[in-house]
Amino acid sequence: MRYIEPHAHMVSRVTDDYVAMVTAGCEAVCEPAFWAGFDRSSAQGFYDYFRQLTEHEPRRAAKFGLPHYCWLCLNPKEAEDTGLAREVLDLLPRFLDRPNVLGIGEIGLNKNSRNELKVLEWHVDLAARTDHLILVHTPHLEDKYKGTRLTLDVLRADGRIRPERVIIDHVEEHTVGMVLDAGFWAGMTLYPETKGTPARAIDILERYGSERLWLNSACDWGVSVPLVVAHTAREMRRRGWSAAAVDRVLYQNPVRFLSQCPRFTLG
């Protein structure tokens, strides 16, 4: 089998994960910019991180034969400080044309605050002005439903945003419908505890169809499973999905969305 890992924070993972992913059939990995688990103390910290995502990590992945792409932004967990956010937003254009950059992400909300919303709007404006794809993070647990609704409001309010160029990630049963109904792509993240599971993700695929959905591990420095997309392929087969149908969801769907960025190429 082959698959794309469309959301993984590889800077937090070890080389064994690269070996395992490639062995399992992963043909490209995409890494959104996110929170390090602690707040960076200045915009310079983000500058270094963006260099890591666009220079160092692609080289590390290449050692294992895996194409590495990334998304850039200031993540919503650090968006409360709008002064810092403005500085980081001003840095971003210097990096957006680098060869492995897919677009702006993972932007969005965390605790659904006014400052987070303002920073989300700034990112959406930047993506619209520079014609980049958007990857949206939706909040965790009890904040997800409200945050997804607020995010949809922001995106729909900007007439320049084309829904087919935006993927809204971490959807679950209570949010997937509103995202797909609005014309956006939706991502399902498979975590041992705090998001979806392979079985639930397949339930959603069987209920909503697989036209605009993808699956990811969002593996990072927390409890997460880098091979869970491959595990889900096995579960899909157990439930009677054909190999071709599995391939459509786990490989062709990410390729279809990501190919809207001319820098995304395979092989």
Partner 1 sequence: MTRRETLDLYFLAARHQLIEVAAFMDRVDHAPGEADFRWAAFVKALRCLETAPAGERAAAVLMALSDPTTVPVERAPGKGAVGAWEGPAS
Question: Whose Cβ is closer to partner 1: residue 141's or residue 244's?
Answer: 141
Q: Which amino acid is at 149?
A: R
Cis peptide before 106 (omega within 30 of 0): yes
Question: Whose Cβ is closer to partner 1: residue 100's or residue 138's?
Answer: 138
**Least CB distance from residue 82 to partner 1, whole Å?**
11
Size of the site for partner 1 (CB under 8 A): 31
Contact status: 80 vs partner 1 (CB under 8 A): yes
DSSP assignment of 184-209, as one string? -EEEEEB-SSSSB-HHHHHHHHHHH-
User: Distances in Å between the alpha carbon of 124 and those of 143, 157, 220?
Assistant: 21, 11, 25
Helices 82-91 and 43-51, packing angle to 10 deg: 40
Binding mask 35-64 for partner 1 (x = CB under 8 A): x-----------------------------
Question: Whose Cβ is closer to partner 1: residue 66's or residue 204's?
Answer: 204
**Least CB distance from residue 25 to partner 1, whole Å?**
23
Q: Which helix (H) or strand (E) holds 127?
A: helix 114-130
10 Å Cβ neighbour count for 42? 11
Q: 220 in helix, strand or coil?
A: coil
**Least CB distance from residue 184 to partner 1, whole Å?**
18
Of the residues 91, 203, 252, 256, which one makes contact with partner 1 according to CB under 8 A: 203
Residues in region 104-163 near partner 1 by CB under 8 A:
110-117, 139-146, 149-150
Of the ranges 46-54, 58-66, 90-98, 170-178, which one interacts with partner 1 (CB under 8 A)? 170-178
Residue 107's nearest CA partner among 91, 90, 126 is 126
**Least CB distance from residue 181 to partner 1, whole Å?**
14
Question: Whose Cβ is closer to partner 1: residue 25's or residue 177's?
Answer: 177
φ/ψ of residue 61, rounded to 5: -65, -35
Q: Give the interface with partner 1 as residue ranges (CB under 8 A).
A: 35, 77, 80, 110-117, 139-146, 149-150, 172-174, 194, 199-200, 203, 238-240
